A = this chain, B = another copy of it.
Amino acid sequence: MTSPAQAVGQIVEAAGPRVPALLSDVEDRLAELVRGHGEVLATHAGATIAAGGKRLRPLLVLLAAGPPDDDAPDVVRCAVAVELVHSATLVHDDVLDAADLRRGRPTVWASAGRDMAIAVGDLLFSRAFAEMALTGSLASVRSLSRASSALAEGELLQREDAWNADVSVERYLHRCELKTAALFEASCELGAQHGARDTERGLRAFGRRIGLAFQLLDDVLDVSGPPERTGKPRGTDLLDGTVTLPLILARERDSELRELDVRAIDGPEAAAEVCDRIADTGALEESRRRALEVVAEAKTALPHSRLGDGQRTALELVADSVVDRYS
């Protein structure tokens, strides 16, 4: 098992010394945008953005763009734009989930209320497109709007499917593609648009698959915990009415789970019991196995011959890091 810090170290080693400098440019630009649009945004969105997170999507943009020039302002703008869309989604998700904490800090919803959180999310969305327009690439604007449409559509489907345990595996995977994989795909696509265009198709496929694996493993973690590592109680998805792959697979194997009314799960203890029952069926291993398959497919999708050695290695390490979070 590799620690997150080690994983980043290996990625940087493979991708070259310019990557940390560009990631730092991304941070600077995000901070600048947060400061530059009034104190309200600075206060409320600042916390969400500054709190960090893994910056996995910006990293994908940079790596997909290939060995960078000393100055790569458009690649940095694309990386900033995807992180802004991601942050906007988080701020709105926290309203939907009435979440108090995100990355260990109070959410905008918790500190400023629902109204501010909706407006902050809208502003972050708008700034993402403004930033993207600065690249001068309409193709990039299109990629971003396609991804942000998919995110919202995925959220709609998830709300529509809420509490419905009969949802099919195909429908679940389609939701994951929209809700998570589309922005990973766009990150790789955007990098390729500002790097070597002939890598775009392969990199898109790579991004989509690791995004899907990311979501699959996230959903496993919600059931498996442990809470001290995930920072949230087990079964949070169940309490929100979100039916994910572990439960879908477990229902095929356990007739009592098949009879379960998700609405009847009335608190964290009941949710933890359902999680144990799901785990007993072996559905978590099966879900993990599927995710690992998708990661393997992602690596295969990489247009190997058209990537530099360091670039390919770095992207493969990112794919591994998606798995390693959970091993």
Tell me if A197 counts as interface (CB < 8 A to partner B): no
Report the Cα distance A307→B118, complex, angstroms.
40
Given A127-B149, A130-B149, A122:B38 Cβ within 8 A: no
Tell me if A263 counts as interface (CB < 8 A to partner B): no
Cβ–Cβ < 8 Å partners of A132 in chain B? 141
Query: Nearest Cβ in chain B — how far from A132, in angstroms?
Result: 8
Binding site for B on A (CB under 8 A): 37-38, 40-41, 44, 88-89, 92, 95-96, 113-116, 118-123, 125-127, 129-130, 132-133, 136, 138, 141-142, 144-146, 148-149, 151-153, 155-157, 159-160
Query: Nearest Cβ in chain B — how far from A312, in angstroms?
Result: 31
Task: Check if B159 sits within 8 Å of A119, measured CB to CB.
Answer: yes
The 4 closest A-B pairs by CB, nearest first: A123-B152, A130-B145, A122-B152, A126-B149
Query: Nearest Cβ in chain B — how far from A151, in angstroms?
Result: 7
Report the Cα distance A169→B152, complex, angstroms.
37
Identify which of B116, B129, B149 contacts A123 (C-beta below 8 A).
B149
With both beta carbons as reference points, the residue of chain B lying nearest to A148 in the complex is identified as B126
Task: Check if A40 sits within 8 Å of B160, measured CB to CB.
Answer: yes
With both beta carbons as reference points, the residue of chain B lying nearest to A136 in the complex is identified as B138
Taking A41-B153, A122-B125, A133-B141 as known contacts, 4 extra A-B pairs with beta carbons closer than 8 A to each other, sorted by chain A number, are A40-B160, A115-B155, A126-B149, A138-B141
